[in-house]
Amino acid sequence: MAQRQVVRRAGILAILTVGLVFLWARITHNNISTPGPDHTITTTTTTTTTIVDDLSSARAPFVSWPLQRLCAETTPVPGLVFLCDNNSGGPGNIRNYILTCVRYAIEAGATALITPQIRTRNPDDPRDLFRGHQPLAYLFDAAHFGDALAAACPQLRIYERLEDVPGVAAKARREGLGDGGVARMVQTVTPKHGFDGGRGGCDARDQNRHTDRFGAAFRAWMADSARELGLEPTAAENPKVIRLAWGVLWDWPVYRDGPEFVASFGGLLRFRDDVLDLADGIVPSMGALGASSGEAEERGVSGSGRSPSAFLGVHLRTEVDALAQWPSYENQSLGYITEAERQGYRGGLAYLACGSETEARKFADEAEASLQLRVRSKYDLLEGRALEQLKAMSWDQQALVDYVVLLGADYFVGVSPSSFSINVALKRHLQREGLNTRPWRVGGLGDGRSWLVGRYDAYWDDWLFMFDGMWP
């Protein structure tokens, strides 16, 4: 009898032990688990906990720990200064150039970065991309950029002007460079040339396949160059100023840095507050328009399974600066209308981003005739002071408003190889998996949130390399 009680107690104790272990495992798992689709993402820095609901939002907080971790692993070089102003094109190109340049600067060990400037285009001819420079605040929140980068990479100091960097002006005077001496100190570098371990047989458009070696190779090049020329090595009192060559914007294979870095790094460049405010007024207006007056039911949207307030986002890239080899208006419009019907938008509502008024009207007429799809633009949805504020913006500044609205669409259709369309799609792609987002599947049916019309046969000629070098 006593032996039976002992066995029974042992059995109960074993069950309790297993239960406690199971409970402990569940608690531990919940604390460290990777969030699934549509779950809140919790990330931690050294000082705070940040709750990020949706990394695809233009207002998402900047998740700093992946950048902070990277910067802690670099080898700083006192006196190494980087300029990231050799950019051009639309917002997608400029954004990616600056981010790629900053990434190279960190890897090289730069300890000074001049706040990036933005090269503007001719307001009378969008094809003329190489006009004067504007401050970073022309497109982005400059204060956010400076604060976020300084917090994550304290060894990388940010200066407004090259002359403000300690030692730069003194070196220019010491070397007798005369008028414009500071500018004459700048050396232009192409990272793929000389720092990549040799590129025998590579296409000239190929990415930098040796980014892991770039930092050490670059620092060795600086030391060897100084020694060969009999110069003092780079130091705080003997600074070296580097400007990256134009065209490096797709050079960095982004997923080499891991999904959490890719998903968060683009948050350094947040759009201006006035852009976000205008877009914040448009998105709910689109939803209200779709749900108003019972019109959705009359036009057949109720049978699609989509909410009457859902709207389709469309980017029609046919402006005068579009390249001839890109998909034509006919290719884009047919693809968009076909996909809109497949996604259940017959009788629904679409927001159109397009810089050509003529072709915007043409697309709206075709969408209405074939799908009873009502098409609206930012000009239709803003009024009064907000509309005047929009009209006062440049072409590229207005494009940012479109960008943010398209992020808020229920479904998006764009075109490859437009950097604008690709960037919108990749940013939207972050919504479901957050910091663990896997790469976009190029040339497929999209990710359930976005789809891009285009040719996907030739990696180089169809510009597919852009997907590998694009920061969401």
Burial label for 325, CB within 10 Å (0-12, 13-18, 19+), is exposed
Residue carrying the six token digits 């494009």: 399
- Per DSSP, what are the bridge partners of residue 119? 133
The predicted structure's pLDDT at residue 302: 46
Q: Which of 92, 444, 440 lies closest to 262, judged by CA?
A: 440
d(CA 21, CA 14): 11
Give the burial class of 238: count Cβ atoms within 10 A of its Cβ; 0-12 exposed, 13-18 middle, 19 or more buried.
Answer: middle
Report yes or no: 136 and 159 within 8 Å, Cβ to Cβ.
Answer: no
Instruction: Name, in order, each residue with C-beta under 8 angstroms of 93's C-beta and a sequence gap of 6 or more.
Output: 87, 249, 419
User: d(Cα 416, Cα 92) in Å, to the nearest integer?
Assistant: 13
Helices (H), 211-291: 211-229, 259-265, 273-291
The tens digit of pLDDT for each residue in 277-295 reads: 999 999 999 999 988 745 5
CB 400 within 8 A of CB 342: no
Nearest to 160 by CA among 177, 173, 142, 172: 142
pLDDT (0 to 100) of residue 325: 80
Q: Which amino acid is at 349?
A: L
Q: Which residue has the tokens 């976020």?
A: 148
**pLDDT for position 304:** 60
DSSP E strands: which ranges in 334-392?
Answer: 349-353, 374-376
Angle (nearest 5°) at CA 383 between 390 and 388 = 35
- What are 50-70's pLDDT values in tens digits? 445 699 999 999 999 999 999
Is the Cβ–Cβ distance between 345 and 373 less than 8 Å? yes
Closest CA to 189 of 265, 260, 241: 241
Strand order in the sheet with 157-159: 157-159, 112-114, 80-83, 240-244, 186-189
Q: How far apart are CA 464 and CA 417, in angstroms?
A: 7
d(CA 354, CA 377): 8
DSSP letter assigned to residue 164: G
pLDDT at residue 412, as a whole number: 99
Q: Give the residue among 197, 226, 223, 191 at the shortest CA–CA distance from 210.
A: 197
State whether the Cα torsion 291-293-296-302 is positive or negative.
positive
The two most distant CA atoms of the chain are separated, in Å, by 104
Q: Where are the domains of the chain?
A: 43-268, 273-415
**Per-residue pLDDT tens digits of the chain, which is 472 residues long:** 444 443 344 444 444 443 443 443 333 333 333 333 333 333 344 444 444 569 999 999 999 999 999 999 999 999 999 999 999 999 999 999 999 999 999 999 999 999 999 999 988 888 888 889 999 999 999 999 999 999 999 999 999 999 999 999 999 999 888 767 899 999 999 998 877 656 666 777 788 888 999 999 999 999 999 999 999 999 999 999 999 999 899 999 999 999 999 999 999 999 999 999 999 999 999 999 988 745 555 544 545 667 888 999 999 998 776 777 889 999 999 999 999 999 999 999 999 999 889 999 999 999 999 999 999 999 999 999 999 999 999 999 999 999 999 999 999 999 999 999 999 999 999 999 999 999 999 998 999 999 999 999 999 999 999 999 999 9
The pLDDT tens digits of the residues spanning 185-241 come to 999 999 988 776 566 667 777 888 889 999 999 999 999 999 999 999 999 999 999
| Residue 373: predicted pLDDT | 97
pTM given for the model? 0.86
Task: Among 2.60.120, 1.10.150, 1.10.3470, 3.40.50, name the CATH number for the domain at 273-415.
Answer: 3.40.50
